[in-house]
Amino acid sequence: MLVINMPSYEMFAVELIYTLVVVFLCFVVYYKTKGIYDLTKYKGIGYFRNAFLFFGLAYASRFILHLVQLTTFTFDFIIPKRMVFPLFMIPTGYFSTMAIFYLAYSIIWKKIKYEHFLTFGNTIAVILSAVAFISRSHILLSILQLLLLIFSIVLIIIKHKKPRKKLHTKALYILISIFWLINLFLLGPRRLLSFGIKFLFQLISIIVFIIIYYKVKKWVK
């Protein structure tokens, strides 16, 4: 098997670009849904928009982390990973957990008061952020969040059993789950993922997110 050994700074650069692209797409989806929300004032759309806003903030936190790593590597000024990585896991864990809660709430908002949701969602987000900080494990955090995301998918399948027009919404949530699964795989140990394999899955992840964007674009028309 041909294995391409890339310098560490190039791996950081690719990770930086990948994260920046995801941040850009998240905020594009957030902006794209602004018009229909302003027009309809439909709360479900508002909460769906908030989900992508928080996804964007989570990946923006990761972007800053990768930027710090690349900068310290470039200028030969190494900041201990044990000190920097856990600190960035706090905002990343909080924002990404809140994103999942907003996705779920965009489905069930008619049945639960916003104040109750906000209190519960923030509590869980803080707990998962603390777990991520203490465990120093992005994988553990992502698995716990994946369980929340699966719960959201189950909710939308149960809630929208019959109307065919809701199939588009189901597909959108399933795509988001696929995106999350791919990123969970990408967080695996580096020794198990060659640069080529990781790059391939990052490319697939971006393609999935672009499809999500076009689904949303079609949805808001």
In a domain, 71, yes or no: yes
DSSP string, 56-115: HHHHHHHHHHHHHHHHHHHTT-PPPHHHHHHHHHHHHHHHHHHHHHHHHHHHHTTTS-HH
Q: Put residue 7 in one of left, alpha, beta given phi > 0 → left and psi -120 to 50 → alpha.
A: beta
In a domain, 162, yes or no: yes
For residues 187 and 145, is the Cβ–Cβ distance under 8 A? no
pLDDT value at residue 7: 46
Q: Which residue did the predictor score with more confidence, 54 or 162?
A: 54
pLDDT digits (tens, 9 = 90+) for 56-96: 998 898 888 777 766 666 555 555 555 666 777 888 889 98
As a dihedral over the C-alpha atoms of residue 32, residue 52, residue 23, residue 171, rounded to 10 degrees, the angle is -80
pLDDT, average across residues 90-103: 88
In a domain, 3, yes or no: no
In a domain, 141, yes or no: yes
Alpha-carbon distance of 124 to 151, in angstroms, equals 14
Packing angle, helices 138-159 and 81-108, rounded to 10: 10
Element (H, E) at 183: helix 167-186
pLDDT value at residue 1: 33
Element (H, E) at 124: helix 114-135
Rounded to two decimals, the pTM is 0.80
In a domain, 1, yes or no: no
Percent of the chain with pLDDT over 70: 74
The amino acid at residue 6 is: M
pLDDT, average across residues 51-55: 91
Q: Which residue range forms the structural domain that includes residue 44?
A: 8-220
Please state the domain count of the chain. Answer: 1
In a domain, 100, yes or no: yes
In a domain, 55, yes or no: yes
pLDDT digits (tens, 9 = 90+) for 178-199: 777 777 666 655 555 666 777 7
In a domain, 177, yes or no: yes
Q: Which residue did the predictor score with more confidence, 29 or 169?
A: 29
